[in-house]
Amino acid sequence: MLPTIAWQDDAVVMVDQRKLPTREVYLTCTTPTEIARAIKTMVIRGAPAIGVTAAYGLALGVRRSKAAGTKQLTTEFLKDCDLLAATRPTAVNLFWAIDRMKHVFSEKVLAGASVEDLRQVMLAEAQAIHDEDVASCRAIGKFGGALVPEKAGILTHCNAGALATAGYGTALGVIRGAIEQGRTVSVFADETRPVLQGARLTAWELVRDGIDTTVISDNMAAVLMRQGRINFIVVGADRIAANGDAANKIGTYTVAVLAKEHGIPFYVAAPLSTIDMRTLDGDAIPIEERNRREVTHVGTTQIAPDQAKVYNPAFDVTPHRLIAGIITERGVARAPYTESLQALFDLSAVALAETGDAPVAAGAR
């Protein structure tokens, strides 16, 4: 499987996604500060991958700390949490992973753990977050793959693949799942201006897997829909509010509106770690604004005048009414989402272990 991120010899190794598709270069980070920089500058990106990387960043800090006791270690750990939390605001997986690591840290400190104990425990927790993300993507692939028609023309936007997760992918996991279930598909990858995650990353990883892939510029999707060449749409998400509104890469909302006009099902695929039940609707999701250069330049070539103002929101919010279903590792949630998403969270681990399968959420199908 594609090595998006790995723990190696007390360091975190990741493929530098800024250099793809032309160069496969790996970056090694040995401190939380280096991890924070890698997330901020999009060496690594994609909501679940950001969460896993942040968890490893916190483990790195604890393992490399010279703190003599847990009091000093706690001060350092909380500083690292703040540093990592300040990297990117929209992907809720970042805050979810930090909260989870914080919870384990404080539980262990209260139970009297030593600095050495914490070194082991925090790495084990980060590795658990990593492994669970891969397992979630596989389950998303299984549930979502079953929804894909035979000989489907699938449109996806941005990169919600192995590169954006700990491996396998969410939206691209659905495509991989459909193929593993025996269906033939062809994929259209929106190039995804301005950072071009679709052209650079989605196309790279799909082609690498031998999947039929066509790159289109973002403004070509409507024509393909009208021509009947797209009959299934799946995207990832950075944060899904309790009512099902879903923030994802800028341009996703446009795709959803076009899908509605052409009667094409538009699905969002994401693990539960992307669902933020504390955010009631999409208006409350913080949207990151990135620097003007992403819009004014393509690589080193300037394409807009210095004097022009630039607006560069990195994400938009697709209203829940445009979403046919939210594909998670526990099944497919359908409208009304507040109830169906909550039902997925309420499924106990015991119930899941007993059935060995994830039931479809309330309101489904």
> Taking the chain, what is the end-to-end CA distance rounded to the nearest angstrom?
32
Instruction: Give the torsion through C-alpha atoms of 79, 80, 86, 88, to 10 deg.
Output: -170
Residues near ligand MRU (CB under 6 A), total: 17
Residues 165-194 vs ligand MRU: string with x where CB under 6 A?
x----x------------------------
Q: Computed over its alpha carbons, how large is the radius of gyration of the chain?
A: 20
Nearer to ligand MRU, 104 or 221 (CB): 221
Q: Which is nearer to ligand MRU, 149 or 313 (CB)?
A: 313
Q: Is 47 annotated as a binding residue?
A: yes
| Per-position DSSP letters for 80-112, written without gaps between them | HHHHHHTS-SS-HHHHHHHHHHHHHHHHHHHTT
Q: Which residues have CB under 8 Å from 68's CB, separation 6+?
A: 115
Told to check if 154 binds ligand MRU by CB under 6 A, we report no
Restricted to residues 250-309, the positions that interact with ligand MRU (CB under 6 A) are: none
Q: What CA–CA distance (Å, rounded) separates 329 from 333?
A: 10
Identify whether the C-beta of residue 70 lies closer than 8 Å to the C-beta of residue 109: yes
- Tokens of residue 145, six digits: 């793959």
123 versus 314: smaller Cβ distance to ligand MRU: 314
Check residue 200 for interaction with ligand MRU (CB under 6 A).
no
The answer to whether residue 136 forms part of the interface with ligand MRU (CB under 6 A) is no
| 152 labeled part of a ligand binding site | no
The answer to whether 197 is annotated as binding is: yes
248 touches ligand MRU by CB under 6 A: yes
DSSP assignment letter at 288: -
Give residues with Cβ within 8 angstroms of 126, minimum separation 6: 7, 52, 55, 56, 58, 59, 101
Identify any residues that bridge with 302 across adjacent strands, giving them in sequence order.
297
Task: Indicate the residue among 197 and 328 with the shorter CB distance to ligand MRU.
Answer: 197
Q: Is 164 in the site for ligand MRU (CB under 6 A)?
A: yes
Q: How many CB atoms lie within 10 A of CB 37?
A: 15
Q: Please tell me whether 23 is known to bind a ligand.
A: no
Is 249 among the annotated ligand-binding positions?
A: yes
238 catalytic per annotation:
yes
Q: Which residue number, 197 or 243, has a Cβ lying nearer to ligand MRU?
A: 197
Q: Of 163 and 358, which has the nearer Cβ to ligand MRU?
A: 163
Q: What length does the chain have?
A: 365
Q: CB-based burial of residue 207 (10 Å sphere; 0-12 exposed, 13-18 middle, 19+ buried)?
A: middle
User: To the nearest whole angstrom, how small is the minimum distance from the Cβ of residue 50 to ligand MRU?
Assistant: 7
Of 61, 141, 198, 236, which lies in the binding site for ligand MRU, with binding defined by CB under 6 A?
236
Site for ligand MRU in 10-49 (CB under 6 A): 45-48
Contact between 141 and ligand MRU by CB under 6 A: the answer reads no
Residue 302 known to bind ligand: no
Q: Do residues 225 and 233 lie in contact, with contact meaning Cβ atoms separated by under 8 Å?
A: no
User: Which of 238, 245, 276, 316 is an active site residue?
Assistant: 238
Q: Classify 75 as helix, strand or coil.
A: helix
When CB distances to ligand MRU are compared, the closest residue is 236
Given a contact cutoff of 8 angstroms between Cβ atoms, the answer to whether 339 and 145 are in contact is no
Establish whether 88 is an annotated binding residue.
Answer: yes
Residue numbers of the site for ligand MRU (CB under 6 A)? 45-48, 91, 158, 160, 164-165, 170, 197, 236-238, 248-249, 314
Binding residues for substrate: 45-47, 88, 197, 248-249
Residues carrying an active site annotation = 238
